[in-house]
Amino acid sequence: MVSVSDVRRWRPPTLDGVFQALGSRRDTLVGFDDELHATKSPAGWTGSAAEAATKHHGELTERMRRLVAGISAVRRATGEAADAVKAVQRALGDAEHLAGRYGFSIADDGKIVDTAQSRPTDEPRIRERAAMQVELADRVEQVLRRANDIDADLAAVLERAALDRVDDGCGTSLTDASLAGQATGGLSTIGPPQGGSPADNSGWWSSLSDTERAALLKDHPDWIGNLDGLPAVVRDQANRAQIPGERARLLAEAAKLEPLVDSLTKRLGASTSEIGELSIARQLAGPAAELAIIKAKLASLDAIDQTLARGDRQLLVLDTSGQRAKAAIAAGNVDTAEHVTVFTPGFGTTVQGDMRSYDDHMNKLREEAQRASEQNGKPTSVAAVTWIGYEAPQASEILEINRSVIGEGAAREGAEKLTRFLNGVDASRPTDPHLTAIGHSYGSLTTGIALQKNTGVDDAVFFGSPGLGTSRLEDLKVPAGHSWVVEARQDPVADFAAFGTDPDRIRGINRLSAHDLTLPDGRQLSHSSGHGSVEPKIGYLAPGSTSQYNMSLVAAGLHHLTREDKSLGQFDFRQSRGRGSY
């Protein structure tokens, strides 16, 4: 088995030198093709001597062909190994650099050693270091996984060549033999780790050469698009490439079902018997429901295309499995933004019905965050992700225990995916951004459950929240003082306290205002009212609202500029009197 110390000792320049030398030898041998052909027995020469000469020439030609084929195979394998080793050493170097920043080192046997002279005492930093130790172990695991694959592949080619088992093809020239040997000398590219963590995925991707990455994007975009831990630009490219194929597949499925649904619908309309109607209706129910699901997914692809057409967007999730399509679209560049905000919407949300509107509002929140930063002398970059990466409960599912809005099933399932997505943002970058998680309504429950695990989230905002899945702020693995709640007046859902204590009444949480506000520069901000998030003027995310302004400040890390409010109190539908000009 290859060790970290082995990887450190590998010398790609030596492999490059072998590659060049083998190329020169191959070219020299192939250059003898004409001479070899010219030494065939002259036409008309017969007899035992002629037969012996012909046999000897054939054996020589075959030896030459197999020699050229073996050299060509080894040359290709050596060249690809050189590139692959450079990528593996680069990935190890990145991991070592990351380890050094957090007070760790990577031993020759791959173990992560704590070398910090002083260790943090505050809980967030302790958690951060512990999470980084696990991440480093995952990264090293993938470096060694790839290194062992390279070593095994190269050894296999060398062994075949040494045993003269490289196929020289069925051609007649040395050039043909060279091409045949070269075709068998390629190294394999291992796929992503099965069930790997975002750090595993990031480590795997980092260990691949540029050539291997390009080939995977071309041949296996389905491996890459939803892989948390990979760069956003890569996921975007892979997911966009899959849209035409997904659309064609769904259209083909619809084309198969439509004749059956049309036929049964006509029979149902023509039936004169109650028993017959019932029988046909039962036959129709399944195909009709399946066709409706397919059409909704096609509509989701349309919504995704229309959102991406706005420009400056990244498609980070594309998943048409299950009952409803899932997607996540970022406004801005998640790979380079100093601040990244991830918004999770709630009850009733669908990609086809809500992606365009939510993306528009999150982009405006992003612009507000950047504008506020510039006005305060701290120009910055912000990316805002609309994450519909789970199947939010629908009104039609109210009686389904595991999917209903009155239960936590859908939220817990979604939280697993959201946790990985949030961790993937950090794992995909050399430096972590300021990461903010925002959740509305049932999406705030999903977010709250996700944040009870380590996610690297620096700030969390919950608005219109029926509960966070806990009554204790300490259960959220968010730095102290960085959890925020927004409650508009006349929002009954925000007072349900259906999933733990009403967030507005949790001890230690910061309460952001959603009331009328006059800024120091004279700008007038409007209040929010009711439970909606994107309703014009009164929605929580409405441009020009105090609620949106406050959330944009949190997203930009401008906490000192936020305007807070007193608790409205449970079932309090009057406008509260908080601080500031309301």
Query: How high is the pLDDT of residue 501?
Result: 94
Q: Which two three-digit tokens encode residue 87?
A: 């990528």
Across the range 531-544, mean pLDDT stands at 93
Please determine, for residue 116, whether its predicted confidence score (pLDDT) is greater than 70. Answer: yes
Query: How high is the pLDDT of residue 57?
Result: 64
Q: How many CA atoms lie within 13 A of 102 on its CB side?
A: 26
Query: How high is the pLDDT of residue 569?
Result: 55
Query: How high is the pLDDT of residue 414?
Result: 98
For residues 66 and 161, give the distance between their C-alpha atoms in angstroms, rounded to a whole number: 9
Query: How high is the pLDDT of residue 97?
Result: 95
Write out pLDDT tens, residues 473-511: 999 999 999 999 999 999 999 989 999 999 999 999 999
| Confidence at 523, pLDDT banded by 50, 70, 90 | very high
Write out pLDDT tens, residues 561-578: 999 987 655 555 434 333
CB 228 within 8 A of CB 421: yes
For residues 2 and 250, give the distance between their C-alpha atoms in angstroms, rounded to a whole number: 45
| Confidence at 395, pLDDT banded by 50, 70, 90 | very high
Query: For residue 135, what is the enclosing H or E element?
Result: helix 123-162
In the chain, what are the domains? 4-219 (no CATH), 310-561 (3.40.50.1820)
Write out pLDDT tens, residues 118-176: 888 888 888 889 999 999 999 999 999 999 999 999 999 999 999 999 999 887 788 89
Query: How high is the pLDDT of residue 264?
Result: 86
Q: Which two three-digit tokens encode residue 18?
A: 């072998």
Query: How high is the pLDDT of residue 29?
Result: 86
Among the ranges given (50-59, 95-104, 299-308, 477-486), the one the predictor scored with the smallest mean pLDDT:
50-59
| Confidence at 468, pLDDT banded by 50, 70, 90 | very high
**Residues shown for the chain:** 582
Question: From residue 404, how far is each of 346, 397, 410, 411, 442 by CA, in Å?
Answer: 12, 5, 7, 10, 11
Give Cα 323 to chain centroid, integer Å: 21
Q: What's the DSSP call for residue 493?
A: G
For residues 415 and 428, give the distance between their C-alpha atoms in angstroms, rounded to a whole number: 20
CB 538 within 8 A of CB 505: no
Q: Compare 307 and 399 and report the one with higher pLDDT.
A: 307
Query: How high is the pLDDT of residue 268?
Result: 81
- CA 292, 223, 317, 242 torsion: positive or negative? negative
3-state secondary structure of 406: coil
| Confidence at 54, pLDDT banded by 50, 70, 90 | low
Please determine, for residue 53, whether its predicted confidence score (pLDDT) is greater than 80. Answer: no
Place of tokens 């059409």: 295
Spatial neighbors of 481 by CB under 8 A, at least 6 apart, are 508, 510
Write out pLDDT tens, residues 412-436: 999 999 999 999 999 999 999 999 9
Q: Which two three-digit tokens encode residue 22?
A: 């083998």
Q: How many CA atoms lie within 13 A of 151 on its CB side?
A: 14
Write out pLDDT tens, residues 272-303: 677 777 888 888 889 999 999 999 999 999 99
3-state secondary structure of 239: helix
Spatial neighbors of 488 by CB under 8 A, at least 6 apart, are 463, 464, 494, 514, 527, 528, 529, 530, 531, 538, 540, 547
Across the range 67-85, mean pLDDT stands at 95
3-state SS, 260-298, equals HHHHHHHHHHHCCCHHHHHHHHHHHHHHHHHHHHHHHHH
3-state secondary structure of 425: helix
Closest listed residue to residue 156, CA positions, set 170, 166, 147? 166
CB 309 within 8 A of CB 404: no
Query: How high is the pLDDT of residue 265?
Result: 86
Q: Which two three-digit tokens encode residue 428?
A: 């995909």
Please determine, for residue 99, whether its predicted confidence score (pLDDT) is greater than 90. Answer: yes
Q: Which two three-digit tokens encode residue 573?
A: 């539908």
CB 324 within 8 A of CB 351: yes
Query: How high is the pLDDT of residue 567?
Result: 64
Q: What's the DSSP call for residue 494?
A: G
For residues 500 and 68, give the distance between their C-alpha atoms in angstroms, rounded to a whole number: 73
pLDDT more than 70, % of the chain: 95
CB 144 within 8 A of CB 2: yes
Closest listed residue to residue 341, CA positions, set 466, 496, 235, 463? 463
The CA angle 39-44-50, to the nearest 5 degrees, is 60
| Confidence at 34, pLDDT banded by 50, 70, 90 | low
Q: Compare 51 and 120 and report the one with higher pLDDT.
A: 120
Across the range 351-358, mean pLDDT stands at 98
Write out pLDDT tens, residues 185-231: 999 999 999 999 999 999 999 999 999 999 999 999 999 999 999 99
